[in-house]
């Protein structure tokens, strides 16, 4: 130990912690009860970690008694202690864990929280953990001893700017043999948490499913256990109520919302394991943080092993819960986690189960499924691209806004196919409104053909894989050729304008001539009925929307599009008859209009408006 280590030291909080504490104190979150849940949850984690480490080093468990959590209320002075004999923390861990927040995306989250009116709702997505205790306490003293260590340390803070760290006094060190003691000096208005019945109420409501015994130690009277201390996932479905599951979800996931889906079963056979998984009903704030890992906990015979065994594919990273294996060895190393064939088998089977359960939820309880889809549809769609094997199943889960309405499935789409229609059509763009007015829909609309309107950023990606659903290929209306020839137009639109008497070849040649290498080709369009022109991508390679996205991120130059023109349109017909200068103006205008309709800017906006003015003036 160096001399600085032995003296008491003041340290500032990381800026994010100070900001969070400030928010806690000014109580954005009115449900103060949750502080106890957070502390108990941390204590339980520490007991889990000790049990795991002691597999390799049984001596860590030697002193300090059977794993348990104790809650000790005292009056005069008003203190509430939460004590565990888990793994504990050394000096550096106290500094790191209780002075910083390691979560990625914290900064942007806090900014959102400060600006939001509904701070309470948001903070639930974040999970404030230990710091929640500052809602009820104006001073917190933590004494901790890492299992097996000769030293104990005391961390203390009154919130505000920082904390103090010092070696534990002899008396404190003698009391904390292993693990962590957290002493809360309660605020006046939080004194109710010193009443035994109040503590029992909160533990019953939030922490009953903690696997370890929780003991209440009243000032007068015998200590007594106040939770059921069993692993809920090991119990049989028939003895559990929806409330039990909801509570287990909140406790296991550290969540505040209700689960939108619960999956509880036991697999028997070559491998035996229990599964208890939940789909949340709200989106966590870090869903798209690259560092966000899976949240399914791996247990082996009720011993917690790890949080990040990648038990589900990343497109199911919103699923929370537990998988508890009967057969895996307890001493699983990193490498074993990655290469274990049994784990791979479990992963595969559970992934299939989750998708199956989502599917049947979609049929049985569309409202609950809708909540999952609204929050996580974006993530699930990543799987269409990533998981070749389950592509069809994921497509079946997906819900789409189409020209027919919202929340349409591909199954419904296929059932409603038009006579002779063999493909599923879609259009990718920035917003539903813009897509709806896109001329590329005209001919499809005239035939009553349904078109998927895709506006999520991820849509540009998954659609770039070759896809079909129930044997029907998915086809972009802004890529390659479309052939609606065999599909009859509906009654009302049969009276399209007569094709004017101009030479098709001549018109196309004139436009091509005028546009030169600005486009890769010019051709007559099957897509348009009213508009004059549109741009499409070639049959191979990326669709226009993906190209545009990649180009925006400077990942590859966009290739030249094809200009399709509507030979029935008077402006198009006029090109062949016009003189060279006018033909050039008209052709460029056809191109620029098409760009604007796709949400792009003409290459040279000044030249575009000059050209437009020239033509308007002429007409006047």
Query: Where is the binding site for ATP, in residues?
Result: 38, 42, 84, 89, 97, 103-105, 125-130, 180, 334
| Residue 155, strand partner residues | 142, 165
- The answer to whether residues 321 and 275 touch, using CB atoms and an 8 Å cutoff, is yes
The DSSP code for 438 is -
Q: Candidates 21, 34, 89, 511: give the one binding ligand ADP (CB under 6 A).
A: 89
**DSSP conformation letters of 274-325:** EEEEEEESS--TTTT-TT---EEEEEETTEEEES-S--S-GGGTT-EEEEEE
Within 57-179, where are the H helices?
91-97, 106-115, 119-126, 170-175
Please identify, using beta-carbon distances, which residue of 34 and 89 lies nearer to ligand ADP: 89
Site membership for ligand ADP, residue 85 (CB under 6 A) = no
Please, is 606 exposed, middle or buried when counting C-beta atoms within 10 Å of its C-beta (0-12, 13-18, 19+)? exposed
Site membership for ligand ADP, residue 304 (CB under 6 A) = no
| Least distance between ligand ADP and beta carbon 43 (Å) | 5
Binding mask 127-156 for ligand ADP (x = CB under 6 A): x-xxx-------------------------
Give the interface segment with ligand ADP, choosing from 40-48, 342-350, 382-390, 421-429 (CB under 6 A): 40-48
| Least distance between ligand ADP and beta carbon 225 (Å) | 19
Give the interface segment with ligand ADP, choosing from 82-90, 156-164, 460-468, 538-546 (CB under 6 A): 82-90
How far, in Å, CA of 537 to CA of 524, rounded?
14
Give the interface segment with ligand ADP, choosing from 37-45, 304-312, 341-349, 458-466 (CB under 6 A): 37-45
Q: Candidates 9, 97, 342, 470: give the one binding ligand ADP (CB under 6 A).
A: 97
Binding residues: 38, 42, 84, 89, 97, 103-105, 125-130, 180, 334
Binding mask 102-131 for ligand ADP (x = CB under 6 A): -------------------------x-xxx
The contacts of residue 466 (CB under 8 Å, 6+ apart) are: 473
The contacts of residue 354 (CB under 8 Å, 6+ apart) are: 263, 277, 312, 316, 319
Binding mask 174-193 for ligand ADP (x = CB under 6 A): ------x-------------
| Least distance between ligand ADP and beta carbon 50 (Å) | 9
| Least distance between ligand ADP and beta carbon 32 (Å) | 16
Site membership for ligand ADP, residue 218 (CB under 6 A) = no
Give the interface segment with ligand ADP, choosing from 81-89, 310-318, 529-537, 543-551 (CB under 6 A): 81-89
Binding mask 257-286 for ligand ADP (x = CB under 6 A): ------------------------------
The DSSP code for 595 is H
| Least distance between ligand ADP and beta carbon 588 (Å) | 59
Q: Candidates 64, 67, 73, 86: give the one binding ligand ADP (CB under 6 A).
A: 86
Tell me the torsion sign for CA atoms 453, 458, 463, 468.
Answer: negative
| Least distance between ligand ADP and beta carbon 129 (Å) | 2
Task: Map residue 133 onto helix, strand or coil.
Answer: helix
| CA atoms lying within 13 Å on the CB side of residue 107 | 2
Question: How distant is the alpha carbon of residue 312 from its chain centre?
Answer: 14
Describe the crossing of helices 570-577 and 580-597 by its angle, rounded to 10 degrees.
150
User: What HEC string does 458-512 produce?
Assistant: CHHHHCCCCCEECCEEEEECCECCCCCCCCCCCHHHCCCCCCCCCCHHHHHHHHH
| Least distance between ligand ADP and beta carbon 183 (Å) | 12
| Least distance between ligand ADP and beta carbon 406 (Å) | 37
Tell me the Ramachandran region of residue 581: left when phi exceeds 0, alpha when psi lies from -120 to 50, beta otherwise. Answer: alpha
| Least distance between ligand ADP and beta carbon 400 (Å) | 36
Closest CA to 219 of 71, 85, 83, 84: 71
| Least distance between ligand ADP and beta carbon 69 (Å) | 9
Give the interface segment with ligand ADP, choosing from 36-44, 235-243, 270-278, 601-609 (CB under 6 A): 36-44
Site membership for ligand ADP, residue 84 (CB under 6 A) = yes
How far, in Å, CA of 251 to CA of 276, rounded?
13
Please identify, using beta-carbon distances, which residue of 87 and 572 lies nearer to ligand ADP: 87
| Least distance between ligand ADP and beta carbon 247 (Å) | 19
Closest CA to 344 of 318, 325, 359: 325
User: What HEC string does 354-406 produce?
Assistant: HHHHHHHHHHHCHHHHHHHHHHHHHHHHHHHHHCHHHHHHHHHHCCEEECCEE
Residue the block writes with tokens 């509880």 = 264
Site membership for ligand ADP, residue 46 (CB under 6 A) = yes
- Cα diameter, the chain: 104
Q: Which residues bind ligand ADP (CB under 6 A)?
A: 38, 42-43, 46, 84, 86-89, 97-98, 127, 129-131, 180
């Amino acid at each position: 130990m160096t001399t600085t280590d032995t003296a008491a030291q003041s340290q500032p909080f990381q800026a994010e912690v100070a900001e969070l504490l400030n928010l806690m104190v000014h109580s954005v979150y009115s449900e103060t009860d949750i502080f106890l849940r957070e502390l108990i949850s941390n204590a339980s984690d520490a007991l889990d970690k000790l049990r795991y480490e002691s597999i390799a080093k049984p001596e860590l468990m030697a002193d300090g008694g059977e794993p348990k959590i104790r809650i000790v209320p005292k009056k005069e002075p008003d203190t509430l202690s939460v004590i565990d004999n888990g793994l504990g923390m050394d000096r550096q861990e106290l500094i790191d864990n209780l002075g910083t927040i390691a979560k990625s995306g914290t900064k942007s989250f806090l900014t959102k929280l400060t600006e939001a009116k509904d701070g309470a709702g948001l903070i639930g997505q974040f999970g404030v953990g230990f710091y929640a205790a500052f809602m009820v306490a104006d001073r917190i003293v933590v004494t901790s001893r890492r299992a097996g260590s000769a030293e104990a340390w005391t961390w203390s803070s009154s919130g505000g700017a920082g904390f103090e760290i010092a070696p534990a006094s002899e008396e404190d060190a003698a009391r904390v043999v292993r693990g962590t003691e957290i002493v809360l000096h309660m605020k006046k208005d939080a004194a109710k948490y010193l009443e035994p019945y109040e503590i029992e109420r909160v533990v019953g409501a939030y922490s009953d499913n903690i696997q370890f015994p929780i003991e209440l130690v009243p000032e007068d009277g015998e200590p007594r256990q106040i939770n059921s201390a069993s692993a809920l996932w090991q119990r049989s479905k028939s003895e559990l109520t929806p409330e039990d599951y909801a509570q287990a979800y909140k406790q296991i996931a550290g969540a505040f919302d209700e689960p939108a889906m619960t999956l509880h079963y036991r697999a028997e056979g070559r491998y035996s394991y229990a599964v208890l998984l939940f789909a949340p009903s709200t989106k966590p704030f870090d869903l798209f943080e690259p560092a966000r890992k899976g949240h399914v906990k791996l247990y082996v015979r009720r011993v917690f092993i790890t949080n990040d065994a990648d038990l589900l594919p990343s497109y199911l990273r919103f699923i929370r819960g537990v998988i508890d294996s009967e057969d895996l060895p307890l001493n699983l190393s990193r490498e074993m986690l990655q290469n274990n064939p049994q784990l791979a088998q479990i992963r595969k089977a559970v992934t299939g189960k989750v998708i199956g359960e989502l599917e049947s939820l979609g049929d049985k309880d569309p409202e609950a499924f809708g909540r999952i889809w609204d929050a996580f549809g974006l993530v699930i769609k990543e799987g269409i691209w990533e998981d070749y094997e389950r592509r069809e199943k994921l497509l079946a889960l997906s819900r789409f806004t189409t020209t027919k309405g919202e929340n349409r499935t591909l199954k419904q789409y296929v059932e409603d196919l038009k006579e002779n229609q063999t493909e599923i059509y879609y259009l990718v763009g920035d917003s539903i409104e813009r897509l709806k007015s896109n001329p590329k829909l005209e001919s499809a609309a005239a035939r009553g053909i349904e078109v998927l309107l895709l506006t999520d950023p991820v849509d540009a990606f998954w659609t770039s894989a070759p896809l079909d659903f129930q044997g029907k290929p998915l086809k972009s209306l802004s890529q390659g050729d479309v052939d609606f020839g065999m599909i009859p137009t509906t009654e009302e639109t049969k009276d399209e304008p007569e094709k004017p008497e101009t030479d098709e070849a001549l018109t196309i040649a004139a436009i091509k001539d005028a546009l030169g290498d600005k486009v890769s080709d010019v051709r007559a369009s099957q897509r348009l009925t009213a508009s004059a022109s549109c741009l499409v991508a070639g049959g191979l390679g990326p669709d226009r929307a993906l190209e545009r996205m990649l180009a925006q991120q400077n990942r590859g130059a966009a290739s030249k599009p094809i200009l399709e023109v509507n030979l029935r349109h008077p402006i198009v017909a006029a090109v062949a008859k016009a003189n060279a200068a006018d033909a050039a103006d008209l052709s460029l205008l056809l191109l620029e209009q098409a760009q604007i309709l796709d949400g792009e800017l003409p290459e040279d906006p000044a030249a575009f408006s000059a050209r437009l003015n020239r033509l308007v003036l002429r007409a006047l």
